[in-house]
Every structure is written in structure tokens, then in C-alpha cells.
Amino acid sequence: MRFTLHLNDSCQRLSLRPGARITCAGGTLWITLESRQASRPSPDLVLTPGQCHRVTEAADYFLTGTRKDVATACEIDLSREQRPDGRPLLALRRALQGRGDPLRRLLRA
């Protein structure tokens, strides 16, 4: 399951699990990772079009563009996202689709 986000002057918080992938589709994408482990630092990543980041730990990801005058777009691919026991989450995400705001509902599940 894939979603495209357009981040025009906004910051989007996504709760992602290992296996998800974030790909920059336009502009320059700034990602701040807030680890759920208190002892871990919160690294920042910068992606340019075509570059991607594969999620390796469950965390909150804050996505924003680096310039207000340039539209930033990114793709979020959840097709390989894993549950804590290592099994795929895709079936659960598909089951929830269509209830309320699907993007917010699915990415915070």
C-alpha cells in the first residue's frame, strides 16, 4: 500500500514500523526520527528526488520540505511494514482503509 504526501509548508508526523519505506518524489525532504527508545538520539535525514529511507525501527517520523517556494512530495510504502512479531501489517492496514481519514488512521495504527 502506497501513499503520496504533498508537504507544502507543513510538517507531517507518521508513526512507522520496520519495513516501511519513505521515498522523496520531488523537492528536498527533511526527516526527523523520534526514537521510542529514550537513550537513542534523534537523527535527521535529508533526501533528494529518487532517494529513499527504509525504516529499521518503530518510531515517529516528522516529514517536511526544506524550502517554502518549492513543493515537496514523498511516497510512503507500507507494503513491507512489520509487526513487532515480524509478521506483515498489510492485511490489517487494508482492513482499516476507508474508515475516517485513511491516511491519518492507517499511519497512526
Going residue by residue through the chain, which has 109 residues, state the pLDDT in tens, using 9 for 90 and above: 788 888 877 888 998 989 999 999 999 999 999 887 777 777 899 999 999 999 998 888 999 998 888 889 999 998 887 776 666 555 445 544 444 444 444 444 4
**3-class secondary structure per residue, 35-89:** ECCCCCCCCEEEECCCCEEECCCCEEEEEEECCCCCCCEEEEECCCCECCCCCEC
Residue 53's DSSP bridge partners are: 22
Q: What residue spans define the domains of the chain? A: 2-107
Side-by-side strand order, sheet with 2-6: 2-6, 73-77, 21-26, 52-54
Please, are residues 36 and 108 in contact by the beta-carbon 8 Å criterion? no
Distance in angstroms (rounded) separating the CA atoms of residues 58 and 51 = 20
Q: Give the pLDDT score at 50.
A: 96
pLDDT at 100 (0 to 100): 44
**CATH class for the region spanning 2-107:** mainly beta
Q: What is the pLDDT of residue 26?
A: 93
Closest among 77, 67, 75, 76 to 27, alpha carbons compared:
67
- The x, y and z cell numbers of residue 100, run together, are 475516517
